[in-house]
Structures are given as C-alpha cells and as structure tokens.
C-alpha cells in the first residue's frame, strides 16, 4: 500500500500538479474489554468502502483501496479538502463498535509520476507521511497545499508544527483543516452534509435489449462469457470484460479486460479504461476492446436521478 520512490525511477518526469490523499482507519480497544477481531475487521472493511465512496463522490480518482487505507488523487486541493471532510462525516454515520474506530487523513499537492497503475514520487511520500502524523479525527495538510486552497477553505486551516521530511534535509509546516462544528455552533466551510441516497436508475441498451439497475450495491457483469448478465458479442471483448455497480447515487464501471473498456460520455472525449474505474455520467456509450468508432457492438447507457 505504501508507495515509495524507486530510485531507478527518479527520472523526475514531474507530471501535472496533483493532490494526493491518504485516509487510514484505526480501531482502539476500550480498556478492560477484549477485542472482537471479526467485528473489528468487518467494521474496518465497511469504513474503507465508505471512504472510497466519499473520495469518488468528491471528484477523486481512487487509486488503491485495501486493508485499512485508501489512496485517491484529486485535481485541486479544494476537492481533496471536501473529500476529507466528507470521509469523516460518512465514517461517523457507521454503527458503533465496542472498539473505537477512527479515521486519519493527510493530503499534499505536487507533481506525481505514473508507471502502469503505480503512482509514485515525493508528493506521494509526503502525503503518506502526513497521514502517519494525523491523529483520529484529523485532516492534515502542508503549507504548500494550503496556499492552493480557495480563501473560504483556507480560513478553516489552523497552523500546527513543523516536521522533518523523511529522507530530506528540509522541514514541512503542517496545518489542520477543521471540519467539525465549533463549540459555538458555527460550521466551517468544510462541513459536508450526511449522505443521502437518491433514487437512481441506470438504463443499458444493447442489440435492442434493455437492462435496468437501481438498487444500492447492484452490480452487472458484461463480457463474452455466456454467464455474464449482459453477453457481449464483440470478439475483442474479454470473457469477464467489465462490471458496473451502484455506489450510493453513482454508477461505476470497472474494467477487468485485456484490451480495455472504452467509455464515451455524451459531449466529451472517449476514455480508455485499463484496470480502472470510471463514474458514468448523464448518458453515453461503452465499447469493448476497441474504440466505439471501430465497432457496432456498443452498449448505450442512460443515468437518471430523482
């Protein structure tokens, strides 16, 4: 889970500035009580799932989700700040345990490099150090990242202390983003409403057949395997090509294929997914193994919300 810089990769192909966020789940035993390991493991898994949903609902790209930690990328520090607040609020809606469950979050903005599915570089390492520094209920970020926040969100930052950057000779000034209501009842700009479930329906049309998905947790598999819920006749399609599932009010397509899944949202450029996830928006088309322009074996989709 912990992505470290590979020295042989320090061809600092500094990519575009990206905000990297790590969120970790911890469980403490209450004094005098024996830990319920199965219950704790189940609670952590559920919390990690909720953290991933919060990241995606805030516009983030979920890179890793395993064990007790998630990693997500955001285009702006504001989006990461909103996601961090949403994560804490969502986690607090989960059922309580005899053990005390908490969330720690850290995020940092800077250039990142990518090789296949791996995201690496100093920005990743710093974000990882920030989440390690964070206590339960905290959102930590860096002075550099704070400078990129919008004024309203920047006002929610409280300066903390400096830390020594691991492997470097420099220090980093930390700031804590305040997301809870204050004792006086005022609400910081980072406050996010508790999750609500919308009435959402996904319509899929292929070869004149129509399939609907609407329930939370509903999933559908598409591919060349006859056992798939939606059989795809394109020879370029893999047997288990991709899945679509509903997570709260969003429908997510995830690629499992050899040749990639091609998604076109109406009015936007086609996107090729390779072992990646994508949130379906409005209406569009899904092609299997090659571009929609090269095949007639295309699934048309429509997302409706009420």
Phi, psi of 74 (to 5 degrees): -135, 150
Residues 154 and 299 in one domain: no
Same domain (yes/no): 147, 269: no
Whether residue 295 is contained in a domain is answered as yes
Identify the three-state secondary structure at position 154: helix
Judge if 20 and 58 occupy the same domain. yes
- Hey, CA dihedral for 178, 183, 188, 191, is it positive or negative? positive
Predicted pLDDT at 11: 34
Q: Are residues 46 and 161 in the same domain?
A: yes
Question: What is the count of structural domains for the chain?
Answer: 2
**Is residue 182 situated within a structural domain?**
no
CATH code of residue 218? 2.60.200.20
Higher pLDDT: 223 or 171? It is 223
Instruction: Name the pTM for this structure.
Output: 0.57
- Distance from chain centroid for Cα 245: 15
In a domain, 1, yes or no: no
- In sequence order, the β-bridge partners of residue 104 are 24
Long-range contacts of 180-188 (CB under 8 A, 24+ apart): 180/88, 180/137, 188/156
pLDDT for 161 equals 85
Last residue of a domain, which of 177, 209, 240? 177
Please tell me the predicted confidence (pLDDT) of residue 7. Answer: 35
- Range of weakest confidence among 50-59, 175-184, 198-207: 175-184
Pair 34, 164 in one domain: yes
Give the tens place of pLDDT for each residue, 259-271. 999 999 988 889 9
**16 shares a domain with 159:** yes
Q: What is the pLDDT of residues 195-222, one digit of tens each?
A: 444 567 889 999 988 888 876 667 899 9
Whether residue 61 is found in the same domain as residue 103: yes
In a shared domain, residues 117 and 258 = no
Domain boundary among 142, 177, 212: 177
| Residue 258 lies in domain | 200-305
Residue 188 forms part of a structural domain: no
- Mean pLDDT on 58-84: 89
Complete edge-to-edge strand list for the sheet that includes strand 200-206: 209-213, 200-206, 298-305, 283-288, 261-265, 271-273
Whether residue 133 sits in one domain with residue 59 = yes
CA–CA distance, 204 with 297 (Å, rounded to integer): 13
- Indicate whether 192 belongs to any domain: no
Q: Where among 177, 209, 230 does a domain terminate?
A: 177
Residue 231 is inside which H or E element, if any?
strand 230-231
Same domain for 106 and 173? yes
Is there a domain that residue 186 lies in? no
Same domain, 163 and 100: yes
Domain with 24 in it: what CATH number? 3.30.70.1230
Say yes or no: 133 and 225 in one domain: no
Mean predicted confidence (pLDDT) in 175-194:
60
- Does some domain include residue 258? yes
Whether pLDDT at 56 is above 90: no
Helix/strand/coil for 287: strand
């Amino acid at each position: 889970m912990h992505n470290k810089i590979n020295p042989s990769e320090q061809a600092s192909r500094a990519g575009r500035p990206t905000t990297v966020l790590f969120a970790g789940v911890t469980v403490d035993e209450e004094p005098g009580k024996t830990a319920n390991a199965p219950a704790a493991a189940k609670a952590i898994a559920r919390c990690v799932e909720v953290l991933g949903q919060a990241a995606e609902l805030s516009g983030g790209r979920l890179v890793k989700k395993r064990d007790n930690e998630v990693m997500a990328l955001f285009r702006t520090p504001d989006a990461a700040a909103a996601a961090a607040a949403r994560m804490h609020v969502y986690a607090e809606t989960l059922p309580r345990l005899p053990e005390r469950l908490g969330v720690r979050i850290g995020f940092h903005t800077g250039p990142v490099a990518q090789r296949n599915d791996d995201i690496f570089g100093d920005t990743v390492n710093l974000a990882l150090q920030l989440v390690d520094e964070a206590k339960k209920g905290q959102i930590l970020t860096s002075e550099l990242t704070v400078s990129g926040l919008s004024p309203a969100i920047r006002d929610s930052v409280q300066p903390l202390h400096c830390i020594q950057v691991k492997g470097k000779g420099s220090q980093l000034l930390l700031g804590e983003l305040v997301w809870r209501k204050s004792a006086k009842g005022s609400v910081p700009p980072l406050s996010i409403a508790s999750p609500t479930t919308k009435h959402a329906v996904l319509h899929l049309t292929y070869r004149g057949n129509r399939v609907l998905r609407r329930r939370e947790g509903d999933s559908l598999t598409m591919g060349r395997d006859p056992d798939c819920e939606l059989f795809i006749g394109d020879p370029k399609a893999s047997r288990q090509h991709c899945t679509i599932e509903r997570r709260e009010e969003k429908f997510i397509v995830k690629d499992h294929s050899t040749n990639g899944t091609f998604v076109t949202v109406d009015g936007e450029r086609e996107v090729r997914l390779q072992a990646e996830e994508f949130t379906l928006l409005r209406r569009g088309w899904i092609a299997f193994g090659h571009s929609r322009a090269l095949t007639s074996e295309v699934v048309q989709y429509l997302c409706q919300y009420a």
